[in-house]
Amino acid sequence: MSNVLLSLVHELKLRWLPGVTIPTLTYPSGLLVKVALIAAVCDLPAIRKLIGYASHSAEMFCSFCYLPQSRNQDLDHAAWSVRTIKGHKAESKAWKSATTHTERKELFKAFGVRWSILNELSYWDPTKFTVEIVLELKDKKPVEYDVPVNEDYFDGDHYEQLREDERYYATTNNSGINLHSLQDALMEIDKDIQAINDSSEDPCVFSSKDLSKIRWVIKHTQIPSWLNRPSPIFGDASAGK
């Protein structure tokens, strides 16, 4: 990952010190502008590659503390030793300075940190500047997390048994409400909810004629040579997302 970020880090270092002087209407002689990488927003696997942390299956699996895998059932977070920028720099520099593969392997196993070229940014603090992205969870289906998609508010068989038992009880309460009618109405509402939830298939957005038109436009549109042309079979399952 460091070799991929090399050019970016080089530019960021120049944009921070000395910065860039840009002439403006208010400052014709130039306004000093500094650019810094403040936050790296990505998911956990990307954080590990970007910062140089170990994977989730390693003994030192956490990118925020030193809790080892063997103690991952310890929920007393007050007892966890939190990672700091001072410790991160020392551990990553030790890994970089190691002269043998075995030494690096032992250091990585002990601290769960490799050297990252982002450490060359004087202001960079991976313990504070990395943000785990969670918005993608909204696209996950509830069933993937063992959460039922629909809640069955009323069990039909149980409801019929209750109705059978209620033949021997009064059908109205002190307020004069007919309980049987109320229960029937609730059951009808539940059926309507279930019918809506069961229709999980999304409606078709494009007709065959629409898709043919889109594919024709894709095929005959002139685009710059450095851009990739969209799939000529747009809308087909084999074309992917």
229, 218 contact by CB (below 8 A): yes
State residue 203's pLDDT score: 63
Q: Are residues 17 and 45 in the same domain?
A: yes
User: Tell me, what's the pLDDT at 56?
Assistant: 85
> Please, is 7 exposed, middle or buried when counting C-beta atoms within 10 Å of its C-beta (0-12, 13-18, 19+)?
exposed
Of 99, 120, 137, the residue that ends a domain is 137
pTM over 0.75: no
Report the domain count for the chain: 3
Same domain? For 45 and 87 the reply is yes
Q: Do 178 and 107 belong to one domain? A: no
Residue 181 shares a structural domain with residue 115? no
User: Looking at the structure, do residues 193 and 98 belong to the same domain, yes or no?
Assistant: no
Distance between CA atoms of 52 and 45, rounded to whole angstroms?
Answer: 10
**Together in a domain, 92 and 168:** no
Q: What is the pLDDT of residue 108?
A: 95
Cα separation, 200 vs 189, in Å, equals 18
Whether residue 10 is found in the same domain as residue 100? yes
Residue 45 confidence (pLDDT):
86
Handedness of CA 215, 219, 224, 227 (dihedral sign): positive
- 83 and 194 both lie in a single domain: no
191 vs 193: CA distance, rounded Å: 5
Do residues 116 and 150 share a domain?
A: no
Helix/strand number for the chain, H first, E second? 8, 4
Burial (Cβ within 10 Å: 0-12, 13-18, ≥19) of residue 80? middle
Torsions phi, psi for 22 (to 5 deg): -120, 120
Judgement on whether residues 127 and 105 belong to the same structural domain of the protein: yes
**Domain match, 38 and 87 both:** yes
Q: Are 33 and 19 a contacting pair, CB within 8 Å? A: yes
Residue with tokens 């007919």: 178
Q: Which range marks the domain in which residue 233 is found?
A: 208-239
- Residues in the chain predicted with pLDDT less than 50, given as ranges, are 143, 145, 153
Residues 181 and 218 in one domain: no
Residue 109: name the closest of 74, 63, 58, 161 by CA. 58
